[in-house]
């Protein structure tokens, strides 16, 4: 068994134009000061990282990681959630997702997708330059508008969509192999890879690619009413990244999983700060530890009620209290009587 690393913090929800969240030097010092040992970096945020430089220059990456280390934190992973989303966008979402892209490719889905693919590849190269072995991302979605089968889906529609999704990602996964970096898809509603079955459909189509792996976030499983503990046992060999995020699902006679188009505060299912929701993190940390997960426990703060800085501060302590320092000996070693093969045979009567 191995001890999970942490606590770490995903910086995407905190980066802003206000100090101390507006520069790499100041935000890493802030994270360390409130108890974090690592930070996960949104690669699209130019206030924190120059992705093109990071992809091209080992010296830049050494300086980048050095600043974080001087402030007391490690770079755990880079993220391409927004760029990965743009690898596959159904036309219904063209306008909604256009803002994720560079201004010069907005309004041009073909150019936007090419830009997104290049961005994800650059992030894999940057991860290599930083000495990292995993990158977070979204899969994007072509089939999501057809999630609920009404009207009835035409035969072959989903299969064609997943074939195309795999075709778009296969060259990226091959680049990931060349870089020695896993692509960890966050299994997430809104993505075609939103549960175990869809991940398996994708995995089959990319030839069980060794670099196609999972970012495990139990909050998204609570809101889908999916067994998030069984999921760990099923996919333990593919779970390479962990977001520690809480959620609660409280259905009523008026609304359930779909939320009635209500705001996050008024939905039956909503994200909460760590410890305020329903996720059984004690069991999650136990299962991940027993299954030899040795990555980082990364807090992703999303809460419809609590202030983000309070959630971040409390999250560091929450994770620290849940990390299990693995034992190096069995609890009953003191009662061992000592034996050998001959004694074992005598005890068995053979």
**HSE on the CB side for 263, CA within 13 Å?**
5
In terms of DSSP H, where are the helices of 86-227? 94-97, 109-129, 157-179, 196-205, 218-222
Per-residue pLDDT reduced to its tens digit, 311-325: 999 999 999 999 999
* Alpha-carbon distance values, 242 to 27, 86, 118, 157, 297 (Å): 21, 22, 25, 32, 6
Per-residue pLDDT reduced to its tens digit, 125-155: 999 999 999 999 999 999 999 999 999 999 9
Per-residue pLDDT reduced to its tens digit, 13-46: 999 999 999 999 999 999 999 999 999 999 999 9
Domains, the chain, ranges and CATH?
5-348 (3.20.20.150)
With cut-offs at 50, 70 and 90, classify the pLDDT of residue 339. Answer: confident
Residue at token pair 């069984």: 230
Q: Say whether pTM exceeds 0.85.
A: yes
User: How far apart are the C-alpha atoms of 255 and 55, rounded to whole Å?
Assistant: 46
Neighbours of 70 (CB within 10 A): 12
């Amino acid at each position: 068994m191995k001890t999970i690393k942490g606590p770490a913090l995903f910086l995407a929800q905190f980066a802003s134009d206000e100090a101390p969240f507006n520069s790499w030097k100041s935000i890493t010092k802030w994270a360390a000061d409130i108890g974090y040992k690592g930070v996960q970096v949104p690669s699209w945020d130019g206030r924190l990282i120059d992705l093109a430089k990071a992809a091209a220059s080992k010296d830049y990456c050494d300086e980048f990681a050095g600043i974080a280390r001087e402030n007391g934190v490690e770079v755990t992973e880079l993220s391409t959630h927004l760029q990965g989303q743009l690898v596959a966008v159904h036309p219904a979402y063209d306008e909604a997702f256009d803002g994720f892209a560079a201004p010069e490719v907005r309004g041009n889905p073909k150019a936007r997708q090419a830009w997104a693919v290049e961005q994800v590849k650059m992030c894999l190269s940057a991860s290599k330059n930083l000495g990292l072995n995993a990158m977070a991302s979204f899969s994007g979605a072509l089939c999501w508008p057809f999630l609920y089968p009404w009207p009835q889906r035409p035969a072959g529609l989903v299969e064609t969509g997943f074939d195309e999704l795999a075709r778009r990602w296969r060259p990226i996964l091959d680049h990931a192999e060349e870089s020695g970096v896993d692509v960890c898809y966050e299994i997430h509603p809104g993505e075609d890879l939103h549960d175990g079955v869809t991940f398996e459909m994708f995995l089959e189509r990319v030839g069980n690619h060794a670099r196609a792996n999972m970012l495990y976030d139990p909050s998204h499983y609570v809101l889908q009413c999916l067994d998030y503990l069984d999921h760990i046992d099923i996919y333990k060999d593919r779970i390479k990244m962990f977001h520690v995020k809480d959620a609660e699902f409280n259905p009523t006679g008026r609304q359930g999983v779909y939320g009635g188009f209500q705001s996050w505060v008024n939905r039956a299912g909503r994200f909460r700060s760590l410890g305020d929701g329903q996720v059984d993190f004690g069991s999650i940390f136990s299962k991940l530890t027993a299954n030899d997960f040795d990555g980082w426990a990364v807090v992703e703060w999303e809460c419809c009620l609590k202030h983000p800085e309070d959630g971040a501060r409390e999250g560091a302590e929450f994770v620290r209290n849940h990390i299990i320092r693995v034992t190096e000996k069995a609890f009953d070693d003191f009662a061992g009587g000592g034996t050998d093969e001959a004694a074992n045979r005598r005890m068995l009567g053979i």
